[in-house]
């Protein structure tokens, strides 16, 4: 993008992925940060005109305006974006801190509450997780279809009585976005709660193909192999995890437990 005083201009070119052939170019212009969301929405509409979409595809388009499905506050979104970076690196405390700042600016920011709920759960603060999940669920009409499925899946996952609805929500998301890593991870978690270890492991293993592998994926795969008594494979995965995350103490603890389960106390 380019900037002159408070005027921002975004220029993009579209190319055919395989040949590099130029398909088209588009640009939008706005005044200050307050126009960013409108610029993104306008640019999205312009880009779609280059894709030769059918009438059916246009009629069934699930795209919505950015401000309506996230937050109309750039400040809140900046806190959210930073918080997600912390979260994905396993720094849940700082992630929560950023999300609290986001909802202080915009109390209706549903996805900030969803992220907080996940972080609280990973830290073992289940009461706080329940409250954040409830708030996200109440605000789920303010999100995209993808995020609504996530919020509903998380909410229904919180009770054994509604695990079927959680499976339905995460599966619905995967019909829209088959590679969605959060839906795959959480659906694996639901099957784990149901003690369907093989189905859970199958889902988790799909995510080992992603590079870099998220540390939560490693943790879940290790857990499933241990539950199934496959300690040698669990150890191999733990070693791979330590290669990628050498400063993560939880993997050292998990590897020590594997050694204990195998009777190799000296290594533990």
- CA triple 141-142-148, angle to 5 deg: 60
pLDDT confidence of residue 68 = 59
Strands, sheet with 2-4, edge to edge from the N-terminal-most edge strand: 2-4, 7-15, 22-31
55-64, 71-80, 244-253: least confident range:
55-64
CB of 138 closer than 8 Å to CB of 130: no
pLDDT of residue 27: 79
Q: With pLDDT > 90 as the criterion, what percentage of the chain qualifies? A: 62
pLDDT of residue 62 exceeding 60: no
Per-residue pLDDT tens over the stretch 208-244: 988 888 888 999 999 999 999 999 999 999 999 999 9
pLDDT in tens, 86-139: 998 889 999 999 999 999 999 999 999 999 999 999 999 999 999 999 999 999
Residues in the chain: 268
What's the half-sphere exposure (Cβ side, CA atoms, 13 Å) at 109?
26
Torsion over CA: 213, 219, 222, 228 (sign) = negative
d(C-alpha 168, C-alpha 183), whole Å: 11
Decide which of 25 and 152 is more confident: 152
Q: What is the pLDDT of residue 20?
A: 79
pLDDT of 222 reads 96
- Better pLDDT: 26 or 242: 242
Strand partners, 66: none
- Structural domain boundaries of the chain? 2-61, 195-268
pLDDT at 59 exceeding the cut of 60: no
Architecture of domain 195-268: Alpha Horseshoe (1.25)
CA 110 – CA 70 distance, rounded (Å): 7
Specify the residue for token string 């070693």. 239
């Amino acid at each position: 993008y380019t900037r002159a005083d408070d005027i921002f201009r975004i220029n993009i070119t579209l190319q055919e992925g395989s040949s590099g052939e130029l398909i088209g170019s588009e640009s939008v212009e706005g005044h200050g940060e307050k126009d960013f969301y409108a610029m993104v929405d306008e640019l999205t509409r312009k880009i779609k005109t280059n894709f030769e979409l059918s009438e059916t595809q246009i009629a069934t388009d699930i795209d919505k305006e950015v401000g309506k499905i996230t937050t109309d506050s750039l400040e809140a979104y900046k806190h959210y974006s930073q918080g997600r970076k912390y979260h994905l690196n396993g720094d849940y405390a700082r992630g929560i801190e950023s999300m609290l700042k986001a909802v202080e600016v915009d109390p209706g920011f549903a996805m900030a509450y969803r992220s907080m709920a996940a972080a609280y759960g990973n830290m073992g603060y289940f009461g706080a997780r329940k409250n954040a999940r409830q708030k996200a669920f109440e605000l789920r009409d303010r999100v995209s279809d993808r995020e609504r499925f996530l919020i509903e899946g998380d909410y229904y996952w919180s009770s054994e009585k509604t695990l079927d609805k959680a499976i339905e929500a995460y599966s619905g998301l995967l019909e829209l976005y088959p590679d969605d890593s959060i839906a795959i991870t959480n659906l694996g978690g639901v099957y784990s709660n149901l003690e369907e270890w093989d189905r859970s492991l199958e889902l988790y293993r799909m995510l080992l193909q992603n590079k870099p592998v998220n540390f939560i994926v490693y943790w879940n795969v290790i857990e499933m192999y241990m539950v199934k008594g496959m300690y040698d494979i669990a150890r191999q995965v733990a070693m791979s995890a330590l290669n990628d995350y050498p400063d993560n103490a939880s993997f050292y603890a998990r590897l020590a437990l594997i050694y204990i389960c195998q009777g190799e106390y000296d290594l533990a």
